[in-house]
Structure 1
Amino acid sequence: MKKDTEINELFGKKLRLLRMGKGLSQEELGLQSGLHRTYIGQIERAEKNISIRKAYRIAKTLELDIRELFDFSDIYKENINKNK
């Protein structure tokens, strides 16, 4: 099983990719999801843990199924390609 810090890092990277893919700033995502901009940044930098409830709010704001926030396969592929 992955360490908590590694999961937080993966989640943060995934959130950043999805947020930027939707063309949203941290502030815009925060406003639309009812979360503070600094909290979004802390999640993306793996400085905070996120609750399922808040992850659901973010997924809903990004118009995603919550499972997409936890699918790290694209990040794993990116890391493998960087190490080649």
Structure 2
Amino acid sequence: MDMRKLVGRNFARLRREKGLTQEQVEERSGFSQQYLSDLERGKRNPTVVTLFELAQALGISHVALVQPDDEV
């Protein structure tokens, strides 16, 4: 699987599980709602630092963002 799509799908799922909107994550992380939308659609290639900062905004481990679906 394409890593961008995997990260995007995991991010979207985890964000919804936390009951957060993209706008709320924008406020917590400083990343724009457009960036978050693109990330969820697999259009962005986030850096390790970005993954860590997004995970902090969600209150999760950054590892959760890169785990394959069969390990979630």
TM-score (norm 1): 0.77
The structure whose Rg is larger is: 1
Identity %: 25
Q: Matches of residues 61-72 of structure 1 in structure 2 within 5 Å?
A: 61-72=57-68
**Which structure 2 residue ranges, 5 or more long, are not aligned?**
none
TM-score (norm 2): 0.89
Alignment correspondent of 1:52: 48
TM-fit CA distance, 1:76: 3.8
**Which structure 1 residue ranges, 5 or more long, are not aligned?**
78-84
| 1:9 matches 2:13 | no
Q: How many residues align?
A: 71
Q: Please list every run of at least 4 consecutive aligned residues from structure 1 whose deviation after the TM superposition is greater than 3 angstroms.
A: none
Q: Is contact 2:3–2:66 with CA below 8 Å preserved after alignment?
A: no
Between 1 and 2, higher relative CO (CA 8 Å, sep ≥ 6) is seen in 2
**RMSD of aligned residue pairs (Cα, Å):** 1.4
